[in-house]
Amino acid sequence: MPRPAYPRPHFDRSHAWLSLDGAWDFRADPGQEHSEDTADGYDQRITVPFAWETPASGIAAHWLQTAWYRRMFTVPADWTGRRIVLHFGAVHHEATVWVNGTEVAHHEGGYTPFSADVTDALGDGGQLLVVRVHAPADKLDIAHGKQRSMPRDDYDGVCFTPSSGIWQSVWLEHRPATHLAALRLRPTGDLTGIAVEASVHGPHTDGAVLRLRVRGEDTAVTTDVDPEGRARTELLLAEPRLWSPQDPHLYHVEAELTSADGTDHVTGYTGLRSVTVDGETLLLNGERLFVRGVLDQGYWPETGITPPDDAALRRDLELAAAAGYNLVRKHLKLEDPRFVHHADTLGMLLWAEPASPGRFSPASTAAFAEQIEPMVERDGNSPAIVIWGLYNEEWGLDWDIPGDPAKQRATADAYDRLKALDPTRPVVDNSGWTHVKTDLLDWHYYDESAASWARTIADLLSGERDDFPVKLGPDYVVHKKLAVPGQPLRGLPNLNSEYGGGFTGLERAWHLRWQTQELRRHDRLAGYVYTELYDIEHESAGLLDFHRGAKDLAGVDPAHVNAPTTLVLDVTPLAPGRDLVTATREFSVDVRVSHHGSEPVTGLLHTAWTPVYGPAPGGPGDAVAGCRAEAKPYVLGSPVTVSAALPEGWTSGRLHLALVADGAVVARSALDVDTRTAPHIGDDPLARKAE
């Protein structure tokens, strides 16, 4: 069985489930000639839940639009007398399902779950399950995210191999006819308990009783279900323990529903935490949160948008944490629910968002909006999700929010729909480009000139400008407005939610180091999201390669760049390997401390030399006489001048700087110094851009 873990940990009925993952019969139907009742043509075997384009599926068929799945299953004997429900985690894109020749489900939407009560279609003995999937090559009117379309999307250059067919788990569950359909768990406003809203479906909701208990706590409540099938109550905790990245404590709520149809058991969980906006500040549990985020698009080399196994989901989160990030933005994809579960248990914050369509039309707007409620229903209990996203860079809006009131209405309507379902989290309406109605003012700014990068960031945050350049082609640059008239440009948290630059690993590491430093220079910023954690197919923008292996980052450790305490150097670097060009061995540099802890930090600056591109030494190096640096939380420290000299006989080298506080290194940075004659400005493209 390729995916043995229970697929839906936020609504856990794992005592009553049976996986249907594994080998199925498969037939391609490029001419759409087959029907459910024809048995011929099943000449291949496919491994579910891997998309049919992937090697892991055993099929590896590209641009196949229609195919059929078939398998037999047997309902366990001890499930007799219960209702049998068939679940699909996700199927791209349109699925029709038959059991023993009876159509039991039809679903459109490649990222949202669906299920069907198949009890009445069952016969004696083995049961025949057939699924027809249509995954159109032209995906422009459907939600497809980063899957490539034919004809191509305008953003095809950053799209990847499609993942068609069944790409999340398939399983059976049993339950009584009157059963729990949803268990919504949210922290109470004062974070002293859990607010519960349960939905009950079935013929005997009237008179049903719901018993709730917090596992491991002396907290239990019994409540009646109202005639509409709702039960609302609170579970108060004697000693509430908050969920945070430092302490990701979870509360499991065991629900027992009793009705005339019998008893249903479900377990859900959540964490006690709040995420709020106070002016330009983002708060987690009432304390300032600075987002140190990284983009994760959810692709794997052999398995497409399906992780190869459960451990791969957890491993990606661990890799992000090891690089110093406290948030992962899962980009344009409703990821497997177990990814969210692992984030909850590890304490990694998440920015979650649905897949986008490729053009603006009534059909695409509806397809996009139809993902919102399932997204909140499935993942809303997660304490890790602290930001909901919606559109991205006007994808599916034909790049013209400022010039089209209809597109503005579609964006605002999506925001209103999401906020009505979940007012407890901030929502971003159109990430990165022109905002219409948003809780966070984020922007996507890419620039490979260190000088203009620093200048534009400063101007955006000071209010000097309300737009920024976006390069859409080799010689085509547009200036994107931060917002349409009516959406405030001040008084909201600011995030640079996509950035990065450079072609080689060396260049990308250089931009990571210096661009992130400039973001840390500005106290009013609420955070950033770096593009991206790992390479995907032709896109080589990752800190890791596509297989999640290490890349040559020229001695730069992302964990130092993204640390809660960092050093900010008052330098505009020239180019990789030549941050500072000086005519003599002796030089000085002003150093500041950016600190995002809860208490002030004070320490002594140390220096050490290695060759250019050398990694930081294991120890702190030698203390610089008199160079004591300090900073208050979220207030950039005053400059401290560090005087240094290249070792005798060296013409270039890397100066490593470390801040040591209470005997430990709490911050590191580096400066590549070159005493050789600086190249003429026309000889160096990076320097030319800086001019």
> pLDDT (tens digit, 9 = 90+) per residue, 478-488?
999 999 999 99
pLDDT tier for residue 686 given thresholds of 50, 70 and 90? very low
Q: Is 591 helix (H, G, I), strand (E, B) or coil?
A: strand
pLDDT in tens, 438-486: 999 999 999 999 999 999 999 999 999 999 999 888 888 999 999 999 9
> For the residues 557-584, what does the mean pLDDT come to?
97
Report the distance separating Cα 1 and Cα 347, nearest Å: 29
Q: How far apart are CA 279 and CA 103, in angstroms?
A: 53
Q: Let me know how long the chain is.
A: 691
Asked if pLDDT for residue 560 goes beyond 90, the answer is yes
Q: What is the mean pLDDT of the chain?
A: 96
pLDDT digits (tens, 9 = 90+) for 330-379: 999 999 999 999 999 999 999 999 999 999 999 999 999 999 999 999 99
335: which 2 tokens? Answer: 């990821």
Pairing between β-strand 385-392 and β-strand 349-352 as defined by DSSP bridges: parallel
Q: Has residue 691 got a pLDDT over 60?
A: no
Measured distance CA(256)–CA(225) in Å, rounded: 12
Q: Is this prediction's pTM over 0.95?
A: yes
Query: How many angstroms separate the CA atoms of 691 and 669, rounded?
Result: 25
* 8 A C-beta contact, residue 87 and residue 171: yes
Q: Which residue has the tokens 């191509």?
A: 152
> CA-to-CA distance for 450 and 340, rounded, in angstroms?
36
Of 96-105, 278-287, 394-403, 549-558, the least confident: 394-403
pLDDT grade for 677, boundaries at 50, 70 and 90 = low
Query: Residue 154: what pLDDT?
Result: 84
pLDDT single digits (tens) 56-74: 999 999 999 999 999 999 9
Kindly report, residue by residue over 283-295, the tens digit of the pLDDT. Answer: 999 999 999 999 9
What does the block give as tokens for 365? 């707007």
Q: What percent of the chain has pLDDT over 70?
A: 98
Closest to 342 measured CA to CA, from 441, 454, 450, 248: 248
Q: What would the pLDDT profile of 520-539 be if each residue is shown by its tens digit?
A: 999 999 999 999 999 999 99
pLDDT at residue 156, as a whole number:
87
CA–CA gap between residue 130 and residue 97 (Å, rounded): 6
- Asked if 649 and 661 touch (Cβ cutoff 8 Å), the reply is no
Phi-psi region of 66 (alpha: psi -120 to 50; beta: other; left: phi over 0): beta
Mean pLDDT across the stretch 65-89? 97
The residue-averaged pLDDT of 660-674 equals 97
With a cut of 80, say whether residue 688 has pLDDT above it.
Answer: no
The whole-angstrom separation of Cα 388 and Cα 353 is: 6
Is the pLDDT assigned to residue 682 strictly greater than 50?
Answer: no
Q: Which pLDDT score is estimated for 678? A: 52
pLDDT digits 0-9 by tens, 137-171: 999 999 999 999 999 988 888 999 999 999 999 99
